[in-house]
Structure 1
Amino acid sequence: MSGWIGADEAARRLGVKAATLYSYVSRGVLTRRKAPDGHSVFDPAEIDRLARRGRPRRQPGGTELVIESAVTMLGEDRHYYRGRDAIGLADAWRLEQVAVWLWTGLEPPSEPSNESASEPSAEPAVESVTDLSAGPSAGASGAVARPAVRGARKRASGVPAAEVEAWAAGAEAVAAAREAQRGLASAVLPLERLQVIVTALAVADPVRLNLEPAAVARVGQGLVAGMVDALPARDGFGEPDTPYVVVGPGVLARDRTVHGRLWRKFAGDGADERLADALRFAMVLLADHELASSTLAARVAASVRADPYAVVLAGLGVTSGALHGGAALGVESLFGEIGAASRASYAMGERLRRGERIPGFGHAVYRAGDARGEALLERVRRAVPDHPRLAVAEAMLDEARRIRLPAMNVDFALGLLTHLAGMPRGAAEAIFGIARTVGWLAHAMEEYARPTRLRLRAAYTGPLD
C-alpha cells in the first residue's frame, strides 16, 4: 500500500471533516483499505478525482444532502455516537445515558443512582424498596417536572449534570395526553397515538419556546417520559402502572427507566422478562442514525426555530413512512402471517409473487450487512434461546439466503423482538419513534445554535411560459 494516504490527509484534500469522509466510504463513494497497523488508508488518485468532481450529492435511489454534524457517524456496517460504537454502548447503557452523551458530549453517570427508601410495600414478603433512579417525582403540572439542582456541574452544552439524570413528565400534562386519546379507536396504532400525545404535552408546556440547551434537555426528558407514560396499557387506560418490579428475593424495586416503563406498557401476558433487556438494547441502537429521513425533517424544523415538540412531531410524521420506521410494522405483519417455520418459504414467496418487497432485508447505507440488526438479533437469541417462535425467524433468514435477498437489517430484529414479547401491532415503530426522539433533539440543538435556516432548492423541470 505504498503511496496510500491516511484519513486525515484524505479529509484535508477533500476539504471535509473525518465524519464526512467515512460517510463517503459507507455509501460506496470512496474505497478504504486497512494498513498493517489497522489504520484506514485511501488511494490518493481516487481522492483527487473526487476532489475535482466536487462533493457527491446524488446516489442511486435518492438525493444526498451533506450537513456537517458532530452527533452520529455512519461506518461500513454500523454507526457511532460522537465517535463511539453504538453497539458497544448498547451493551451497558440505557436510553437516558445515551441522551446525556448525544446532548452534551460528556460521559453520563455509569449506573442509575440507588437510594434506600422506607416506604411500605403492599407485598408482605417485601423487606425493602430500592429506588432505581435519582429522578424526581412528577410535578403537578407542566410537561416536565423540573428538578431542583444543587451544585450541579455544567456540561459542555450548558446542561447541568444533575438535570440530565431525571426523566419525569408532569402529572397534569400526562393526564391531558391520556384524555386526548379517549375518542380514538382501539385499532389506532401506537405511533399515531404518539403524535396526539406530543401535541397534548406541547400545549401543556408554556415555556416550550426556550431553545437554550438546558431547556431543550429538560423538555426532552419530560417529552420522552410523557410519550411512554401517556400510552395506554394493553388493557386500556385504567390506573397508572404499578412501578414496582421484583429484583431479588424479598426485594422490590421502583423502576423509573424509560425501557422498563415501556416494557410494562407493551409486553403481552406471559412475555419473558428477559426480553426487557433486549428492549433496552434496541432503544440505545435506535436513538440516532445520522441524517435519516425523519432526522432531516426534524433538523429543517429546528432550523426555522420550531420548538422541540414540533421538531419531534416532524420526525414522527416521517417515521410512519413504509421505507423508514414503518418498515418494522411490515416485519411484524410478516411474522403474523407465518404460523410455523415450515410456512416461511411459502409466505415470503407469495410476497414476491405479488410484486411486494419483503420487509426487514436490505439497507440503503449498509449494503454488505447491518451490524445493528445482527447485534439485536443475537441479544434476542441469548435472552430467550428456547422460545418456540425463534424457529420461524431462523427459517425466514434461511429462506432469505436461499433466494439471495439482501442482508437482514435492524427492522427485522426489532420486529422479532416485539413479536416474541407479544406486543401489540405497531409497537416496533413506536419504540423506534420514542428512542429516536433523543437523536432528533440532539440534531435540533445543533440547528438552534446555527444562525441560518436550512433552505433546499429545487431543480425546476416544469413548463416555461
Structure 2
Amino acid sequence: MTDQEATPKEGRRLSTREAAELLGVKPETVYAYVSRGQISSRRGPGSRGSTFDAKEVESLARKNRREPAATSASGSSELSVRTRITLIDKDRYYYRGVDATELSLKHSYEEVAEWLWTGVMRPGIHFTALEETAGAARRAVDALPEHSGPTDRLRVAAIAAAAADPLRFDLSEEAVIGTARTLIPTLVTALPPASRAHRDEGPLARRLWSRLSGRQPQEASLHALDTALALLVDHDLAASTLAVRVAASARAHPYAAVSAGLGVLEGPLHGAASGLAHRMLLDVLDRGSAAPVVADELRAGRRVPGLGHRLYPGDDPRAQALFAILETIPKAGPALAAARGVVATTARHTDLHANVDLALAVLTASSGMPAEAGETIFAVARTAGWIAHALEEYEERPLRMRPSGQYVGLRPPQAMPRRDESAQTRRRLGSPL
C-alpha cells in the first residue's frame, strides 16, 4: 500500500512529509511525537516510509495551536522560530553560516545585506533611493517638530515611503528585495543633514555620516561606521525582529513590517541603549575618571550602560571587532580610554564585558555625533535584517505567530457590572471623567 492509499474501512493516511507540513515541524519531530505516543505510525507492506492517520495528525496540530508556548527549565516561556539567517554560538555569530565579524570587516554594509537576503555576494553594490519616494519621505520628516527623535523620523519616513509606493503589497521575493534596496537609502536620505556637504551618492555609510556628523570623515572613520552597520544587520530574534515577524505573519507589506520593528527598537533596553552609554562616556571625559560616574549610575539604581549581554557570557564579538577598528583612529583615543575605565571599574565587583552599545558609543562620541546617533545607526543597520526575516516569514503559514493567551482573570459567569452613578452624573453634566 502506498502512502496515499487506504482500505475502504480506513481513514486517509499521510506521508512523513505531509504530516510534518501539517504540524509545522521537521520530519524528525514527527517521529518524536510517535515515540511519545502522541500519534501512531505504520509501515505498510512494500512501503519504504511510515504513514500516519490523518485524523490523529490533525487533532495533534489543533492541540499544538491551542497550547501555550513551552516553558524552559528556568520557568520562562520561550518562542522558537526556525530561521536560516543568523546563528549565535557561544562567543561567535554567523550570517548564513559565515562568520559575521569576518564578513563585516571585509565587506560593505550593502554587500552584507544582499548576502542576507539572497545568499549571493555582489561586490560593489550600492542601494539607491527613488527620487519620488525619497522626496515624499523628506517632506514628511521635515514636517515633524524639532525635538523629534531619530526613530520618530525613520518611522515617519517609512510610512511616507509606503504611501508613495502603489506596489507595496507585492510580497513576492523579488519585489520585497527590490523594496529593501530602495527603502534603506530612503530612510537615510530623509534624515536632516548635519553638514552642508551632505551626500546622497556613494556607499551608504558615507551618506549616513553626513546625516550624523558635521565633521569631514576620514576613510578609517567611514570604515568604522560601515563595519558597525554590517555588524548590526541582524542578531537572531531580538525583540524588534520578533515584532517584524509577527507583522509579516499577518502578511503586512515590508514597509509596515519595518515600521513594527522601529516601534520596538526605540526602547532603552534595545536600540536606544547606546545613547545612554554615549552620555556616560562624555561624563567620564568631563570628570576625568570612570569611578565616580559608575558610582552615580549604581547609586541611582541603574545598570551601567554598555556592559553585559544575555547571549554572550564573555566578550561580545561585535564590540571586539568595532573596538579593533577604533583603536586605529587617533581621535577615538580619549573615548576608548573612557570605555576601558568603565569596564575596569565595574570589573572589581562583577564579570561584565563590554557589549556593542559601548563600542557604538565610542564611535559616536569620538566622531562629533549626538548621543542619539547610535540609535539611528542601529535602526538603519537592522532594517536589512528585518527584511530578511520578513522574507522568511512570508514563506511560512500565515498568522502562525498567534500564541494563545493564558487567562488568569475571574471565571465566568460573573454578575453584570453596576453603573458608576458618580461617573453617570459627571457625564450628564458634561464634566471630564
TM-score normalized by structure 1?
0.70
| Change in CA separation of 1:456 and 1:392 when aligned onto 2, cut-off 3 Å | same
Amino acid across the alignment from 1:68: R
| Change in CA separation of 1:210 and 1:386 when aligned onto 2, cut-off 3 Å | closer
Aligned to 2:198: 241
CA distance in 2, matches of 1:57, 1:256: 48
| Change in CA separation of 1:272 and 1:388 when aligned onto 2, cut-off 3 Å | farther
Q: Percent identity?
A: 38
Q: Is the 8 A contact 2:326 2:332 kept in 1?
A: no
Q: Is the 8 A contact 1:360 1:410 kept in 2?
A: yes
CA distance in 1, matches of 2:311, 2:259: 25
Q: Secondary structure at the match of 2:285?
A: coil
Correspondence for 1:200 among 160, 164, 188? 160
Deviations 1:352-409 (A, max 9, x none): 0111111111112112331211221122112337733332222112112223251111
Q: Displacement, 1:291?
A: 0.7
1:421 aligns with 2:367: yes
Q: Is the 8 A contact 2:93 2:100 kept in 1?
A: yes
CA distance in 1, matches of 2:76, 2:368: 36
Q: Secondary structure at the match of 1:79?
A: strand
Correspondence for 1:73 among 76, 87, 92? 87
Correspondence for 2:105 among 80, 83, 91? 91
C-alpha RMSD over aligned residues:
2.4
CA distance in 2, matches of 1:457, 1:396: 43
Q: Displacement, 1:105?
A: 1.7
Aligned to 1:38: none
1:300 aligns with 2:246: yes
| Change in CA separation of 1:337 and 1:227 when aligned onto 2, cut-off 3 Å | same
Q: Secondary structure at the match of 1:167?
A: coil
1:323 aligns with 2:323: no
CA distance in 1, matches of 2:253, 2:346: 43
CA distance in 2, matches of 1:262, 1:60: 42
Q: Secondary structure at the match of 1:174?
A: helix
1:188 aligns with 2:151: no
CA distance in 1, matches of 2:313, 2:144: 40
CA distance in 2, matches of 1:100, 1:360: 29
Aligned to 1:434: 380
Q: Is the 8 A contact 1:340 1:392 kept in 2?
A: no
Aligned to 1:375: 321
Q: Is the 8 A contact 2:209 2:217 kept in 1?
A: no
| Change in CA separation of 1:257 and 1:301 when aligned onto 2, cut-off 3 Å | same
Q: Which runs of 5+ in 1 are unaligned?
A: 1-11, 17-54, 113-164, 244-254
Correspondence for 2:72 among 45, 52, 58? 58
Q: Secondary structure at the match of 2:324?
A: helix
CA distance in 2, matches of 1:241, 1:373: 28
Q: Is the 8 A contact 1:341 1:395 kept in 2?
A: no
| Change in CA separation of 1:63 and 1:78 when aligned onto 2, cut-off 3 Å | farther
Aligned to 1:219: 179
1:456 aligns with 2:416: no
Q: Is the 8 A contact 1:57 1:65 kept in 2?
A: no
| Change in CA separation of 1:233 and 1:84 when aligned onto 2, cut-off 3 Å | same
Structure 1 or 2: more helix by fraction: 2
Deviations 1:170-229 (A, max 9, x none): 112212211112232333221221011111111111100000011001100100010111
Aligned to 2:258: 312
Q: Which runs of 5+ in 2 are unaligned?
A: 1-25, 31-68, 413-433
Deviations 1:40-72 (A, max 9, x none): xxxxxxxxxxxxxxx964375953210111111
Q: Is the 8 A contact 1:176 1:200 kept in 2?
A: yes
Amino acid across the alignment from 2:410: P
| Change in CA separation of 1:389 and 1:177 when aligned onto 2, cut-off 3 Å | same
CA distance in 1, matches of 2:132, 2:335: 41
| Change in CA separation of 1:326 and 1:446 when aligned onto 2, cut-off 3 Å | same
Compare 405-414 and 440-449 and name the one that shifted more: 405-414
Q: Displacement, 1:233?
A: 0.9
Correspondence for 2:393 among 416, 436, 447? 447
Amino acid across the alignment from 2:198: D
Q: How many residues align?
A: 348
CA distance in 2, matches of 1:344, 1:59: 38
Q: Displacement, 1:336?
A: 2.8
Deviations 1:129-160 (A, max 9, x none): xxxxxxxxxxxxxxxxxxxxxxxxxxxxxxxx
